[in-house]
């Protein structure tokens, strides 16, 4: 079990390092996105750092599954469901880079939030079958977004 924990932690770190992003600039008061201070806040987090946190939360769910620890599964899923927003300046760059596909990008995020909330509820009810179903859909949602957008967004968000 210790080896599994080390491998999943290493995987999360590698996953997070794949994403790189520039520091967020201060948001103007006229921004159509959620306002932010000059860097990460409680409400916002640069995309790369946000992805590192999500990978750690996915690891928490996986560890919970291996140990049949429903509290750990619920904690990881709840953290994903309420993850910070991307800062407005990065959202503008993403929207410009994706153009017509921006709404699909947003839909991936909404699906991940909804699925994570379902997983958290299933874990709270100790319903392993529903947890496993939601975990599969959550993983597929994450990987679908990465497959569709990571290579295109990385250069846009790299300093």
- Answer whether 49's CB lies under 8 Å from 86's CB: no
pLDDT (0 to 100) of residue 64: 98
Where do the structural domains in the chain lie, given as residue ranges? 2-20+46-157
- pLDDT band for position 15 (cuts 50, 70, 90): very low
Both tokens assigned to 33: 């996105």
pLDDT greater than 90 at residue 21: no
The pLDDT of residue 13: 35
Global confidence as pTM: 0.72
Provide the mean pLDDT of the chain: 80
Rounded Cα distance between 38 and 21, Å, is: 14
The CATH architecture to which 2-20+46-157 belongs is Up-down Bundle (1.20)
Is the pLDDT score of 27 beyond 90?
no
Q: How far apart are the first and last CA of the chain?
A: 38
Other C-beta atoms lying within 10 Å of the C-beta of residue 15: 18
- Report whether 40 contacts 49 (CB < 8 A): yes
Q: What are phi and psi of 44, to 5 degrees?
A: -130, 155
pLDDT digits (tens, 9 = 90+) for 61-118: 999 999 999 999 999 999 999 999 999 999 999 999 999 999 999 999 999 999 999 9
């Amino acid at each position: 079990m210790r080896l599994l924990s080390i491998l999943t932690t290493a995987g999360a770190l590698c996953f997070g390092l794949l994403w790189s992003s520039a520091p967020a600039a201060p948001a103007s008061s006229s921004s159509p996105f959620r306002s932010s201070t000059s860097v990460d806040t409680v409400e916002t987090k640069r995309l790369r750092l946000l992805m590192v946190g999500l990978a750690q939360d996915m690891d928490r769910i996986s560890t919970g599954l291996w140990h049949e620890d429903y509290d750990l599964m619920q904690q990881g899923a709840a953290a994903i469901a309420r993850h910070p927003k991307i800062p407005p300046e990065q959202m503008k760059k993403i929207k410009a880079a994706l153009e017509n596909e921006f709404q699909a990008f947003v839909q991936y995020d909404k699906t991940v939030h909804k699925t994570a909330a379902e997983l958290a509820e299933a874990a709270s009810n100790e319903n392993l079958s529903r947890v496993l179903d939601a975990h599969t859909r959550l993983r597929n949602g994450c990987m679908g977004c990465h497959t569709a957008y990571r290579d295109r967004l990385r250069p846009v968000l790299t300093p």
